[in-house]
Chains A and B, each alone.
Chain A
């Protein structure tokens, strides 16, 4: 498959034509600076756009139209990429070649056009969306795994730009006015950087022509080129919070200083996989399989803040043992006390994952985005070679530069709630 990049002024259009899929995925990503209050307004605005528009003036009317168009899905999500906020819209449609209706693709484009260029902003919809967003934040408390992760992020990123949730914050919701939503909309459509991506089996030129005609963007800003939150993370005192739980949630954090695309980036990717990604990782083997302390344990590399988070859950009485085991495992990596097979398994895990990502429309669109914005080649073999080239010495040396900066536990006060 090939990636074709078209440009119109400062807007980039990615076309990934492949015969694998029977659906076509169109994604539009609008980039702006990440800021808490504007994130809240932008998220509410996005939610209002995907709920209804002037052509489909109620949620029911829009849903019915999407059903009529063969289960076309219209999505809108707020995301962040480093220091940028993204309003992402997507439509996923059945490939028109399966549909016996020559107007089908035009009808889909009409929905997208109505969503983005014919909005229906009114107080009632704003109030509804505000309520949904408040409900969403309230629901974070219910699932304790999700709540623990939120508390961990709140503490870890306190005072740091990375703390900002792309959906905004509870405390800003009430104050957002319709005028602010409209301003956020005007800014998104007319001034935000924009990247459009289409994945599926289609004729690039034809689709590009029709997309350009249906969605007449003209004045958007150039695509951003700096995404990194390079402010340093200071070591923080560990925090333990309590609530009635069956299982304590443990989070440990390492600072690496290695950001996406830096020289040591692929080494960090391999090191994290070796440490705690997948069922063959050292932590999974030791914490779960050998000591039976936990059902899951995993490590996640955050390349836009250069941190690694390790997360697990276990009975209160086992937390200290798990912490010690995790620290000991990192020491073993630093000292090279791990088998070549473990490193090979980590690389194999990554190689299989990279290859599989070229089978998913969503992943393909993201790989193209990283190519455009972060100079990562749109090339499976490049990524595989980089993974394969990482040596044991590279891993050991990089591990030596990692620093423990923060540990968080959300746990029960004494004995666990009904725990086994």
Chain B
């Protein structure tokens, strides 16, 4: 058992490996009555391929990761969520582009619930009947999104921003791919991606780590090793975007603009440098396009944006982009303002006061996150895949210099961008 104390934040992290295979982390949270537990597999919507035991490559239909997530809590044709509920736990699960996470929050019987979660996660019980039945439910989940023009706008922008990357596909898949999924696909993807060595368990709560380890060592059952392997998704994404600009009429009353700037990740960088780059990009974007920036103020003053304006930075292993969006009656002025601001990145000036302020904000935001067991578990999982403990991230962020940010602003190619403008539908009779 490794115990690490982070005295600045009064946080303690314990780490042990179960049977030398599954990494378990426990973040001690005194006085909380709730314990939050996550178990994640490195299978997201962008993963579609695996190699079987004989080394043959296979590809499954889109939406497999999400479909699998729907079926994990089923046993003998029944949902086992009520077993968790009776033991004071509420379960949930979600699929992201690069990961699937199963979780529960419990106010009692945490260890028996962890065992139950391991059993569901490592020993699923897929049936043809269960898979067929679930297709209607997932179809309704997809239908729900079809009635949301902002969801459509995001997806169409992704399709325009990327040429080949599986990010172009909906996490849920398409009606065709959902229809084509079979029990065998789920089973094969599970065997390749849901191995204890590849999974991560994070427990956040007021528990005795030594007791947790002793209990799980004695009671948790892990599956035998399989010989199938995950296959990284296709990496041949060109730097250029698929389509630079698209205007479409959607069922809304006010135009909405979403701009995506694509940065292909530097594949040669080591992990620490990439984390540093990711943090630097967030700092740079906050400074130059965030809600305290001069650009924001100018757009606000001239009525180009409203309080729906937002900025999102996504940096993962194989993709990296910034999304900037707003609802606006002046879509063209918004596009022009952002394009101009991006062009001026190389000449950006950052004062010492600006830089201090943004660093303070970063420290504050980090500490705020420690009060949410959910946010803490997810952030911890996010960074531990790179062998970085979340509590060390702030130190990395604090060591970033103003010069590094300015240098990033100079070398960042902000010309690879795509814009999706959603316009209200022209009604019949309108000119």
Contact = CB atoms under 8 A, between A and B. Distances in A.
A139 B306 CA distance: 12
A244 B327 contact: no
A136 to B, nearest CB: 8
B12 interface: no
Interface in B62-101: 79, 81-82, 85-86, 88-91
Contacts of B149: 142-143
B292 A279 contact: no
Interface residues of B, number: 72
Contact of B327 (A139, A296, A345, A417): A139
A358 interface: yes
B371 A23 contact: yes
A60 B296 contact: yes
Given A247-B143, A348-B85, A355-B107, A60 B364 contact: no
The 10 A-B residue pairs with the shortest CB-CB distance, nearest first, are: A71-B364, A70-B364, A246-B146, A144-B147, A292-B136, A142-B252, A420-B139, A355-B107, A67-B361, A420-B175
Interface string A343-365: 01100110111011011010000
A353 B106 CA distance: 9
Contact of B367 (A22, A144, A313): A22
Contacts of A58: 297
Contact of B33 (A98, A143, A344, A355): A355
Contacts of B146: 246-247, 417-419
B249 to A, nearest CB: 12
11 contacts: A60-B297, A71-B361, A94-B367, A94-B368, A128-B303, A131-B303, A139-B308, A142-B148, A142-B254, A246-B147, A417-B147
Interface in A318-355: 341, 344-345, 348-349, 351-353, 355
Given A59-B297, A94-B368, A67 B360 contact: yes
Interface string B41-73: 000000000000000000000000000000000
B85 A345 contact: yes
B30 interface: yes
B144 A313 contact: yes
A310 interface: no
B34 A359 contact: yes
Contacts of A119: none
Given A22-B9, A132-B306, A94 B143 contact: no
B32 interface: yes
Nearest to B328: A135
Tell me whether chain B's interface is mostly helix, strand or loop, or mixed.
helix
Nearest to A62: B292
A309 interface: no
A252 interface: no
A164 B214 CA distance: 57
B85 A70 contact: no
B142 interface: yes
Contacts of B24: none
A150 interface: no
Given A246-B147, A353-B90, A356-B34, 20 more contacts: A19-B31, A22-B367, A22-B370, A23-B368, A59-B291, A59-B297, A60-B297, A63-B292, A68-B361, A141-B251, A143-B148, A143-B150, A279-B79, A280-B82, A292-B134, A296-B144, A345-B82, A352-B89, A359-B34, A417-B146
B144 A132 contact: no
A21 interface: yes
B225 interface: no
Interface in B279-335: 291-294, 296-297, 300, 303, 306-308, 327
A293 B135 CA distance: 11
B384 interface: no
A103 to B, nearest CB: 13
A116 interface: no
A349 B251 CA distance: 38
A18 B29 CA distance: 13
B288 to A, nearest CB: 13
Interface residues of A, number: 70
A420 B136 CA distance: 8
B90 A278 contact: yes
Nearest to A346: B85
B140 A60 contact: no
Given A135-B306, A292-B134, A351 B33 contact: no
A100 to B, nearest CB: 10
A294 interface: yes
Contact of B90 (A294, A344, A349): A349
Nearest to A64: B292
B245 to A, nearest CB: 21
Nearest to A352: B88
A326 B34 CA distance: 33
A20 B31 contact: yes
Interface string A134-176: 0100110111110000000000000000000000000000000
A247 B140 contact: yes
A264 B330 CA distance: 54
Contacts of B9: 22, 98
B148 A145 contact: yes
A69 interface: yes
Contact of B306 (A92, A131, A288, A349): A131
Contact of B371 (A22, A353, A356): A22
B2 interface: no
B49 to A, nearest CB: 25
A32 B33 CA distance: 35
A315 interface: yes
B253 interface: yes
Interface in A379-420: 416-420
Interface string B355-386: 01110111111011011010000000000000
Contacts of A418: 146
Contacts of B135: 292
